[in-house]
């Protein structure tokens, strides 16, 4: 059998993938991730009682921007690593930029704070629970996002798993902002980041098993 004949047989009945199919799948997965995290947050933790007042402050929107930009970078990384032999591209910069801004802002605030309040700015009221709450909120999203990544035939499974976990964690962090009382960038740059990294590490560990196609 000639090569051309074999290709013709293998391609018989194969329909072309619609343009933008990957974007639509991820849009659906992220929507489900948001809804799932929101429902769990409302049931388990609730909204912060002063949300109506704090929502008008620049710090609240800064926290939202921090988590949303990381979520955007993680989404781009997950989209890229969902495809065979893809590279991270500019996703790394989109993730790193908000981190650098928060770290620099936190360092500046700490340097200008009284020594006795610096640890309070870093630890806040909820450093023991914050990362694990974010991880908990990210679990439903990880399942949906991993299913989406697997359907797009990734080949770099650890990186794809890490990106998917980071995406779930970052989206969960966005939702968690509406409960969390912490308003210090020094806190976000440590404990919010850890909350996003936990599902990312978990995704890297389980990616080779769950994303194999």
Evaluate whether residue 179 is within a structural domain: yes
Quote the DSSP letter at residue 16: P
Kindly list the distances between the CA atom of residue 179 and the CA atoms of 42, 91, 127, 130, in Å, as whole numbers in the listed order.
8, 28, 14, 10
pLDDT in tens, 64-86: 999 999 999 999 999 999 988 77
Report residue 13's pLDDT band, with 50, 70 and 90 as the boundaries: very low
Evaluate whether residue 5 is within a structural domain: no
Q: Is the pLDDT of residue 20 over 70?
A: yes
3-state SS class at 91: helix
Evaluate whether residue 64 is within a structural domain: yes
Evaluate whether residue 32 is within a structural domain: yes
Q: Where do we find the tokens 């933790």?
A: 45
Predicted model pTM: 0.89
> Per the structure, how many domains does the chain have?
1
Evaluate whether residue 33 is within a structural domain: yes
Whole domain around residue 205: which residue ranges? 23-210
Evaluate whether residue 9 is within a structural domain: no
Evaluate whether residue 8 is within a structural domain: no
Alpha-carbon torsion, ordered 64, 125, 197, 113, to 10 deg: 70
Average pLDDT, rounded, for the chain = 90
Evaluate whether residue 38 is within a structural domain: yes
């Amino acid at each position: 059998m000639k090569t051309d004949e074999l290709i013709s047989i293998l391609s018989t009945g194969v329909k072309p993938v619609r343009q933008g199919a990957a974007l639509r799948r991820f849009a659906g997965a992220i929507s489900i991730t948001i809804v799932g995290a929101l429902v769990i947050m409302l049931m388990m933790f609730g909204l912060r009682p002063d949300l109506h007042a704090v929502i008008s402050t620049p710090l609240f929107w800064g926290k939202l921007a921090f988590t949303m930009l990381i979520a955007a970078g993680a989404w781009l990384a997950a989209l890229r690593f969902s495809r065979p032999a893809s590279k991270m591209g500019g996703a790394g910069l989109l993730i790193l930029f908000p981190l650098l801004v928060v770290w620099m802002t936190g360092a500046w605030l700490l340097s200008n704070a009284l020594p006795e309040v610096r640890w309070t700015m870093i630890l806040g009221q909820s450093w023991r629970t914050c990362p694990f709450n974010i991880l908990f909120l990210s679990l439903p999203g990880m399942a949906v996002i991993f299913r989406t990544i697997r359907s797009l035939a990734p080949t770099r499974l650890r990186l794809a798993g890490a990106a998917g976990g980071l995406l779930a964690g970052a989206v969960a962090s966005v939702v968690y902002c509406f409960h969390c009382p912490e308003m210090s960038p020094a806190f976000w740059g440590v404990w919010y980041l850890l909350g996003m990294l936990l599902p990312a590490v978990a995704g890297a560990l389980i990616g080779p098993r769950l994303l194999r196609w």
